[in-house]
Structure 1
Amino acid sequence: MTKGLKQRSRERLREEREERETETEKEEQNKEQSIMAWHPYKLKRKWDEWNLRVTVLVSLFFQIVLIFRAPSRKRTGGRIVTLTIWAAYLLADWIAAFAVGLISNGQGNGCDVHPLNEDLAAFWAPFLLLHLGGPDTITAFSLEDNELWIRHLLGLLIQLIAVAYVFLQSISNKLWIPTVLMIFAGLIKYAERTRALYMACLGNFKASMLPKPDAGPNYAQLMEEYSSNKEAQVPVRIVITKEPEKGSRNTDEEKNLQTEKIEEIDVVKEGYNFFNTFKGLIVDHMFSFHERRVSRKFFFERNPIDAFSVMEVELNFMYDVLFTKTGAVHGKIGYSFRVICSVLIVVSFCLFASFHKHGFHQFDIAVTYTLLVGAVVLDLIAHVKLIFSDWTVVKLNNSIKLKCSKAATKIVYAIRKGLSFDKKWRWSKSVSQLSLINYCLNKRFKWIDTAADHIGLKDFLDELRYKEYKSVEKDKLREIIFEQLKDKAVKAEDSKIAKEIFSARGNWVLSQHLCPHPEILASVSEEVEYDESLLLWHVATELCYFTGETDPNCDEETKNKREICMILSEYMLYLLVMRPTMMSAVLGIGQIRFQDTCAEAKKFFQKGQSGTSLLKRRGKEVCDALLGVDTVVKPIKVKGDRSKSLLFDACMLAKDLNKLKFENRWKIMSEVWVELLSYAASHIRPNGHAQQLSKGGELITFVWLLMAHFGLGDQFRIEAGHARAKLIVNK
């Protein structure tokens, strides 16, 4: 019995050992299989099998992202949103073109596991052509993309040839009818995009607005008749009468205009009308004084809220023309091709749905249905956006053939408002902020700045860290800007005064107030460059804000002006530092002055006047320390002019400003800041303003447009129409 127990024990041990060996072998086999799964050859097999299937679905995904996210870029200037749309915009074109190349090369069709049917591969190719046409919501990411319309035209021809080549390779294609229909649909979509880019190209955009050649009255014939009468000794004279002016209104009448409120639907109509008149601003078009009078009359009658609302709509139309398919779609031809494209897509869907799919892999059928459903749904969304857009509202309103056009306009606008496609706003309604003192106090680690500078990300990180936002929706900023420009427009009785106001950058305001401190006036004189004045006033405004004497009994208006001075001060510094390309026309050596001023400020904050660091202090303490420095002698006499720092020059200016009475100080400073803002707005290149429409819009662009509407600019060069000359013969 003992032997039997020992034997069973040995057998059990042997079985356990065998089981352990078996498990070890299985583990080793699993490891080998796992290693083999990542073998380059295995990976290549997987890629060959799934590359086309994945790329067509990814291409559809990017179309969905763009149609829903692209409109948001005109309402926000956030770097993350812009970066996301930029990546989707570039990758959408790349992935679609890549997928067409895969199909034309026959990759993905020769797999052993799940071979792709050639008929389906040929049917997928037109969808990629459709994707290359892009959604209606974006054709160009920036203005420069419009200039590349010839490249897109060439791309259209190349991709069309590639799709046709794929189709001809499978000439016995059972799906040839829906394939041909989708090819035509893709061709229409791609052609729409190319035409939109062509029309938005600034050269073509300007050419489309050029008036017909006008030689004027026949001068040679008139003078010939005059000379012949003179030679015949017939008494003759020429009488000149000016062309009658329409809609004229003198300045006294403009002063007495009552502010009227307009309905929301009228805001869209007026915005479209002014867009048609003033869209030439972005290409330096010239305007007549009749157009100036009409615009001035309208905006003199508006309150600030309605005026900005009309300009929002006007700039929104401008954005649509420059960055979307609007220019190519809105019109009889555009509507016709859009309907044809939709019919082709729906018919292709129906034909495939009714087709017998024997021999097709189930996953490939699912991918095909996904592409078809995606095409139908995206096209439906595009139609809904098209029907309930601002463009449809104004076109229905301007239609004289439709008896019920007004009722239809109201219905369309009501539905559009309910659906909230464009939300309730058309721009970001915020102004970016940058404080020089905070910039110098909130230092990053030096190695981060060094690394970011080497890879070109320093500006990006600076904007993320130092940039702040303040809303202009509920405060008095727009009202103060509007009223001050309106007051100046009333004084601009003729083009000469209008150009003086247009060229003022603080000196006009100070001369009007008869400022008793010549040092203050000198800070904005013509001898001082604009960027120097801006930086001086920025630092001085911060110092006055935190250190100047306050009046607790001051009125609400003065408090608003004090806050607005800070908002405009930090906004203008943000433009100077973070938007140098936009501000290049007025920038000068502003960036050098900014970095030198920052260097001196950081040096002062590290040690202070008494050797105590100020880096952990904020606001009033820091500003008090700066103003505590004795500035009897001008810094340039002590330091020379090698350093362009303006830190203590600004301290001198702040001390002079603090000598003014509280209410008068902030009244003058607010008007100076509006003038500095309006000077930059009117001198920035027009395409700089247009570029910002795709980045959330900028307050300075609204100021530029408002100045044009008030007639404060040099765009109005046609002071009178043709003179009517009559030859009077005395018998």
Structure 2
Amino acid sequence: MKALLHQLWNEWEIRLLVLFSFTLQVFLFFAGSFRRRNTNTVVRLSIWFAYLGADFVAIYALGFLSRQPADSTTSSSREKTHHQLAFFWAPFLLVHLGGQDTITAFAIEDNNLWLRHLLNLIAHVALASYVFWKSTGGWHNLEVLVPGIFLFVSGIIRYGERTWALKCGSLKNTEGLLVAEAKDQTQPAGVGLNRDDDACYMGVVRFALRSAPVVRNFFAGCNLVQFMATNVDQMCMFGEVGGRQLLLKIEMDMMYDDTYSKAMVLRKRAGIILRCISQVSFVVAFVLFLVLLGNKKKFSTADIAVTYVLFIGGFLVEVCATALVVMSPWTWGWLEARKYRKLARVSWFLLSKKLGRLEKRMSWPNSMGQYSIVSYMGLELSWLSRRVTWLVRKMASMVGAGKERLLWISNLMDSKCIEIDREILESVALCVDGLHSELSDGSSRQWPNLRPVLTKMQSLSMADFGLVLVFTHALTEVHLRSTYYEEKKKTAAGPDDDTQEEDASSSLVGMCRKLSNYMLYLLVSHPEMLPVTGSVDTTLEFFVRKVIEYEDGGGKVDIMRGTRKLLEDQIGLHAVQPSKETLEEIRDFWLRLLLYAAGKSRGDTHAARLAGGGELLTFAWLLMAHLEIGDSWLRRIELGDTAGGDMRPELAYVFPGASFGHA
């Protein structure tokens, strides 16, 4: 029995490896674009394992074939021919190593390693050629050799496309690529914004196509003085917030495709020609395989079935990939610019369906992270987080490491993602409009209810933006946990007017908490996106030590009571009166902090987060960049003098007495 199983495994091992490689490619094709709007950890880990495992399985299969002798050691001619047909799958493995159109890079760092992939291309092509030529016995086995040559052409082109796409996706190559795209005849030259259709999908897509080079420079962090393809007047033509949201979604969708897929390669003249050669070669190889393989009885039925699966499955994947190319905005722009009306209508029909789904769902960004300071202080840790924290502390004490910083455990266990509702996006867009108006007329935001608190916070001489976020987050959490709001929740519904007012206050409470938790989540999980200095651990530990100093209850430490005392003593929390107007100011203050962080952030950090579903901060940053606000343009936020204190001027504009102007 053991010998039988061993023989069965030896016979099916290469078949299973090749089929598994193909299965991973199919999974990556459909899941590659799905990850842009999914933040589920299980899904993302599955895609990550498939992305890494696909190359490993294909390379292992090539290595397995290279170890086999050129002619079988058995006396059965059937096993010899079976062995030769298995070697015919070597070119298919090159096609698999070429990856799928929907995912070439899992993370933005993969694009910077395109030279390594180029070396891998040369090595793997050489290995596959050696294996295939040795197994077919040179020119003596034409029934396998001839279709195999066409398969090699297709595989080499597909592998080369992947390497080329990685090079194009690297933000380091942006400047040269923009010049090349300007000269490339396949680009939608002459596609501009038409004032007659600016309210419909077509006007938005045209504007997005025209602004694509500038948007790529936004993300690359280049100097944008030379790239004035968009301007504020055109951007303001999308008067409704919904129109701007759709525009930004399209632009981020296109940027994702350019960075993490083969989209940029497949809209170049050379890329289109090579793809057509690859597809034709694949079809010719299949036809020749059917014609030249006349005596199918000398090959194993299982091997022939596996070969058919590879051919037919690969062809169906190519059909789906072609459909994705047809529904691309670039394809429609190219056809429209060259007056191919019928083809343009087909492309627009598919594209409009895609845009309709894009407008309805919150794809960019689709979620926002949430993390609270109470989790870090151990007040609302999950059961699993408490157990893991206890275990790590025990292990640290056993090895003599002392008290360990366990922020990463709390972040891993207690951070969560929630869907972004339209109210939050609209609030961000309206806040950007307000900031643009203040830049134009020189006015400044007033804070009648929060002014005493902000003035004292300004005098704290907090040199770290992260500490400002932590203090403001604690202020928000303590204020929202006040007796006033708890009683409002328990109050029975009264007249209709009172009910509407209560619903509005409840919505404001929810928005304030979401924005507060989101900014702390960015500080803990993605500090590279914020203008912070120093360690996040140090900032949080400093705040907790201050809280403990103000808690003198003896026995068990009441963290929330100590937090309230700290805030009342340091920033005058008692001066903040609970009301709807106060909630509106807390919401607006968080929005101002978000816009400040967005204006100071780097484009490459936003490009990296596109692979994770995008960030609300990216939405604000891109909208500000379109209006020429922030560090991406020479027109920047000029921070005015404060009313007093030692506050860093970079934080001045969100506090009382600050003003805006042009740099």
Tell me which interval the TM-score lies in, with the shorter structure as reference length. Answer: 0.7 to 0.9
Q: Return the alpha-carbon distance in structure 2 between the equivalents of residues 611 and 106 of structure 1.
A: 73
CA contact (8 A) 2:473 2:517 kept: yes
Residue 244 of structure 2 is matched in structure 1 by: 307
* Cα offset, 1:521, TM superposition: 2.3
Displacement of 1:81 in angstroms is: 1.8
Question: 1-side partners of 2:627 and 2:433: how far apart?
Answer: 7
Residue 492 (structure 1) aligned with residue 426 (structure 2): no
Candidates 577, 580, 588, aligned match of 2:534:
588
CA distance in 2, matches of 1:464, 1:72: 23
- Which amino acid counterpart does residue 535 of structure 1 have in structure 2? V
Q: 1:51, 1:108 within 8 Å by CA — same for their partners in 2?
A: no
The more displaced of 294-303 and 362-371 is 294-303
Cα distance change of structure 1 residues 52 and 405 upon mapping to structure 2, 3 Å threshold:
closer
Contact 1:122 1:179 in 2 (8 A): no
2:207 corresponds, among 270, 275, 288, to: 270
Per the alignment, do residues 437 and 292 of structure 1 end up closer, same or farther by CA in structure 2, a change over 3 Å counting?
Answer: farther
On the 8 A contact 2:335/2:341 being kept in 1, the answer is no
Indicate if the aligned counterparts of 2:86 and 2:303 stay in contact, CA closer than 8 A: no
- Conserved? CA contact 1:145–1:197, under 8 Å: yes
- Tell me the SS of whatever aligns to 1:470: strand
2:576 pairs with 1:658: yes
Point out where structure 1 has 5 or more consecutive residues left out of the alignment: 1-32, 213-257, 502-507, 615-621, 632-647, 720-731
Give 3-state SS (helix, strand or coil) of 2:589's partner.
helix
| Offset at residue 460 of structure 1 (A) | 7.8
Contact map agreement 1:296 1:711 (CA 8 A) in 2: no
Matched, 1:341 2:278: yes
Q: How does 1:353-502 map to 2 (within 5 A)?
A: 353-354=290-291, 355-356=293-294, 357-397=296-336, 399-404=337-342, 407-414=345-352, 416=354, 424-439=361-376, 440-443=378-381, 444=383, 448-449=388-389, 462-463=410-411, 465-474=413-422, 476-493=423-440
Amino acid in structure 1 at the alignment position of 2:447:
H
Percent of aligned positions that are identical: 27
Alignment-derived partner of residue 260 in structure 2: 323
Displacement, 1:580?
3.4
Separation of aligned partners in 2, 1:516 and 1:322: 43
Counterpart in the other structure of 2:64: 102
Structure 2 Cα separation of the partners of residues 595 and 291 of structure 1: 45
* Equivalent in the alignment of 2:52: 90
Aligned mates of 2:360, 2:104 — CA distance in 1: 21
3-state SS of paired residue (1:49): helix
The alignment partner of 2:369 has SS state of strand
Q: Kindly report which structure 2 residues correspond to 1:57-456, keeping only aligned pairs within 5 A, or say none.
A: 57-106=19-68, 110=72, 115=79, 117-169=82-134, 170=136, 171=138, 172-173=140-141, 174-209=143-178, 262-288=199-225, 291=228, 294-299=231-236, 301-354=238-291, 355-356=293-294, 357-397=296-336, 399-404=337-342, 407-414=345-352, 416=354, 424-439=361-376, 440-443=378-381, 444=383, 448-449=388-389
Is the contact made by 1:536 and 1:653 (CA closer than 8 Å) also made in structure 2?
A: no
Equivalent-residue separation in structure 2 for 1:665 and 1:292 (angstroms): 41
Matched-pair contact (CA < 8 Å) for 1:123–1:175: yes
Alignment partner of 1:77: what SS? coil
Aligned mates of 1:292, 1:415 — CA distance in 2: 27
Displacement after TM superposition at 1:452 (Å): 6.6
Counterpart amino acid of residue 482 in structure 1: A
CA distance in 1, matches of 2:205, 2:362: 12
Correspondence 1:534 to 2:469: yes
Q: Measured at CA, do residues 594 and 359 of structure 1 come closer, stay the same or move farther in structure 2, by a change above 3 Å?
A: same
TM-aligned CA deviation for residue 533 of structure 1: 0.5
Shift of 1:450: 6.3
> Helix, strand or coil: the match of 2:611?
helix
**How far apart are the structure 1 equivalents of 2:358 and 2:628?**
34
**Aligned residue pairs, count:** 590
Which ranges in structure 2 are unaligned for 5 or more consecutive residues? 182-194, 397-403, 489-497, 637-663
Change (3 A) 1:684 1:107: farther
Displacement of 1:63: 0.1
2:454 paired with 1:520: yes
Partner of 1:586, secondary structure, is coil
Query: Measured at CA, do residues 542 and 292 of structure 1 come closer, stay the same or move farther in structure 2, by a change above 3 Å?
Result: farther
- CA gap 1:384/1:425 in 2 versus in 1, 3 angstroms: farther
CA radius of gyration, larger in: 1
AA aligned to 1:588 is G
Change (3 A) 1:669 1:414: closer
- The worse-fitting range, judged by mean Cα deviation, of 319-328 and 585-594 is 585-594
TM-score of the pair, normalised by structure 2: 0.79
1:296–1:709 contact (8 Å) kept in structure 2: no
RMSD: 3.8
Change (3 A) 1:67 1:709: same
